[in-house]
């Protein structure tokens, strides 16, 4: 039985040819991880795998079975997806439809044969106090009566990635509270539901998310009008998230526009009453005053932010400020956090989150805000599509990682993505481009985990790449503190803008090793 080894920053496909590598070589910082993909033949017997370190000493290891996922359309050059391969061939990895190994099924017990090609992912994770040295071991993979042994060399480097609670990079990925119902068959709010939610929170924290999005309050009607709001579901979600170790919560969105160029916002529970009207104020007054009571009763002051209305535009920035003013009256001291599509929200938002291309489009204005002391994150989503950095499954896998290197280069302090677990459509395993408003989202845009067994999420290779990028960000910012010119020059060896980047995982791995050496040199020189 033959296995070949591939980087964790390159896509692996069911029809990939074997590589020349048969030994596994890993490099990881303390408090961080590194991984490798293994490709074998057709699975024709019971599968099991175990890694044993020489002398019984070595970093913690996780082993996964890689499962293929179907990409049904390619990312469009401008928006959503396309079936015109010629229009996108310069920036996508393959012509759709195709399958790619993205989902990670934990290899915690022997697998039964299923006739598909065998691919594995090995991930080593070093503790923050791990001794920096080289460890060696042997990975033994058994398939039926066949057995393969692969050598593993793992170098733990001295630089330390801080835990998420001490991270420089903040992160928020929106959680779909209906997802466990649709994909796991759970009853919303039942005991099994909340146990599944705990698993999803743990996955978000493993990916180094610092903020957990809560659902908004639910309107309680009397005589057809909102008479109050029920926050019991949001309260339970918040309590669980903090119990699991989340650093911050984020109150759910309360309003939206009907169309992106509307001048008015409308409460989620009343699509006919504008937030800038007297009646809109009374409804929002009731909402925020009751939500403030929940925050105080749970002692969440200093641990919570508030989202108001996703993606305010230049057309509705004034109305957004009205909404923000109402929020501030009843939630004093709670920072307002939102994805934004304009620079004209000063005083209305505390944590700015422009889209990657929006930030570059108005970079002069946003950097002026940063220089004045405003907190600046960034986000990615289905638009602008094309080669813009995103975590789509037909863009190079390395991009899911280096998008956060760009965050370090621009000194952006947080990252947001809307799609953690939005399992949209009938079959996300074969149609990763999920339906949205009559079109299809780029492959994987709606989710970075998969519905596993027993209500638990399964990670993806994009999940691992984003987690690695967050770890890289922490080390890059340490380098920026000590040697900003050298740190920025190192980033520019792999990416210079959100549209100009190295497609090769090897380039990222080489730059990462140089980052380790830079930090080690800085430490030696004091």
How far does CA 10 lie from the centroid of its chain?
18
Q: Which pLDDT score, from 0 to 100, does residue 238 have?
A: 98
Q: Which pLDDT score, from 0 to 100, does residue 20 have?
A: 81
- Nearest Cα to Cα of residue 21 among 34, 3, 33, 43: 3
In the beta sheet, which residues pair with residue 62?
A: 123
Backbone angles phi, psi at 489, to 5 degrees: -65, -35
Q: Which pLDDT score, from 0 to 100, does residue 21 have?
A: 77
Please give the average pLDDT of every successive group of 10 residues along the chain, which has 526 residues: 92 93 93 97 89 96 97 96 98 98 92 83 97 96 92 98 96 96 94 97 98 98 93 98 98 94 95 97 98 98 97 95 98 98 97 97 98 98 92 97 98 97 91 93 96 94 98 98 97 98 96 97 89
Q: Using alpha carbons, list the distances in angstroms from residue 284 to 220, 225, 293, 297, 496.
A: 13, 13, 14, 20, 43
| Beta-carbon contacts of residue 476 (< 8 Å; ≥ 6 apart) | 405, 408, 487, 490, 491, 515
d(CA 367, CA 377): 12
Q: Which pLDDT score, from 0 to 100, does residue 113 have?
A: 66
- Nearest Cα to Cα of residue 11 among 495, 392, 357: 392
Structure tokens at 314: 């230049």
Report helix angle 399-409 to 484-491, nearest 10: 150
Backbone angles phi, psi at 405, to 5 degrees: -65, -35
Q: Which pLDDT score, from 0 to 100, does residue 190 have?
A: 97
Q: Which pLDDT score, from 0 to 100, does residue 22 have?
A: 81
Instruction: Tell how strand 351-354 and strand 337-340 pair up.
Output: parallel
All structural domains of the chain, each given as residue ranges with its CATH number in brackets, are 4-160 (2.60.40.10), 210-379 (no CATH)
Q: Which pLDDT score, from 0 to 100, does residue 51 have?
A: 97
Instruction: Tell how strand 134-143 and strand 117-125 pair up.
Output: unpaired
Report helix angle 505-524 to 484-491, nearest 10: 170
Q: Using alpha carbons, list the distances in angstroms from residue 179 to 175, 309, 421, 445, 458.
A: 8, 21, 7, 15, 13
Backbone angles phi, psi at 39, to 5 degrees: -120, 125
Q: Which pLDDT score, from 0 to 100, does residue 44 have?
A: 83
| Beta-carbon contacts of residue 113 (< 8 Å; ≥ 6 apart) | 43, 44, 45, 46, 47, 144
Q: Using alpha carbons, list the distances in angstroms from residue 503 to 24, 79, 374.
A: 22, 21, 32
């Amino acid at each position: 039985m033959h296995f070949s080894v591939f980087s964790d920053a390159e896509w692996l496909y069911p029809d990939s040819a074997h590589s020349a590598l048969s030994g596994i070589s890993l490099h990881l910082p303390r408090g961080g991880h590194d991984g490798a993909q293994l490709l074998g033949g057709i699975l024709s017997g019971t599968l099991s795998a175990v890694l044993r370190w020489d002398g019984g000493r070595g970093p913690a290891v996780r082993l996964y079975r890689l499962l293929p996922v179907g990409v049904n359309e390619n990312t469009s050059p401008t928006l959503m997806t396309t079936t015109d391969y010629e229009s996108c061939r310069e920036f996508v990895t393959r012509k759709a439809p195709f399958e790619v190994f993205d989902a990670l099924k934990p290899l915690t017990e022997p697998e039964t044969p299923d006739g598909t090609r065998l691919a594995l992912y090995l991930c080593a994770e070093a503790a923050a106090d791990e001794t920096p040295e080289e460890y060696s071991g042997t990975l033994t993979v058994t398939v039926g009566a066949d057995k393969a042994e692969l050598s593993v060399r793992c170098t733990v480097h001295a630089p330390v990635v801080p835990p998420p609670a001490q991270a420089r990079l903040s992160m928020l990925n929106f959680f779909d509270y209906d997802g466990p119902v649709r994909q796991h068959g759970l009853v919303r709010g039942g005991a099994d539901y909340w146990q599944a939610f705990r698993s999803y929170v743990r996955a978000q924290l493993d990916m180094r998310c610092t903020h957990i999005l809560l659902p908004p309050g639910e309107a309680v009607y009397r005589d057809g009008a909102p008479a109050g709001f029920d926050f019991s579901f949001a309260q339970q979600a918040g309590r669980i998230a903090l119990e699991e170790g989340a650093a911050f919560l984020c109150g759910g969105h309360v309003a939206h526009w009907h169309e992106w160029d509307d001048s008015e916002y409308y409460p989620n529970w009343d699509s006919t009453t504008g937030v800038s009207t007297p009646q809109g104020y009374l409804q929002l007054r009731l909402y925020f005053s009751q939500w403030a009571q929940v925050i105080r009763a749970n002692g969440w002051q200093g641990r919570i932010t508030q989202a108001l209305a996703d993606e305010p535009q230049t057309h509705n920035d004034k109305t957004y400020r009205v909404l923000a003013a109402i929020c501030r009256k009843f939630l004093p001291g709670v920072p307002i956090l939102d994805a934004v599509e304009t620079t004209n929200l000063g005083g209305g938002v505390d944590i700015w989150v422009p889209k990657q291309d929006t930030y570059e489009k108005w970079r002069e204005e946003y950097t002026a805000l940063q220089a004045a002391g405003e907190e600046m994150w960034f986000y990615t989503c289905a638009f602008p599509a094309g080669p813009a950095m995103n975590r789509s499954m037909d863009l190079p896998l390395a991009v899911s990682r280096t998008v956060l290197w760009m965050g370090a280069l621009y000194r952006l302090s947080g990252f947001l993505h809307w799609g953690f677990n939005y399992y949209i459509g009938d079959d996300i395993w074969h149609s990763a481009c999920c339906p949205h408003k009559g079109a299809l989202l780029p492959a994987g845009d709606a989710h970075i985990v998969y519905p596993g067994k027993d209500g638990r999420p399964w990670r993806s290779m994009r999940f691992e790449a984003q987690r690695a990028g967050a770890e890289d960000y922490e080390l890059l910012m340490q380098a920026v503190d000590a040697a900003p010119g050298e740190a920025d020059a190192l980033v520019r060896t792999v990416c210079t803008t959100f549209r100009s980047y190295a497609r090769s995982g090897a380039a990222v791995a080489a730059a990462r090793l140089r980052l380790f050496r830079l930090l080690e040199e800085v430490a030696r020189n004091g």
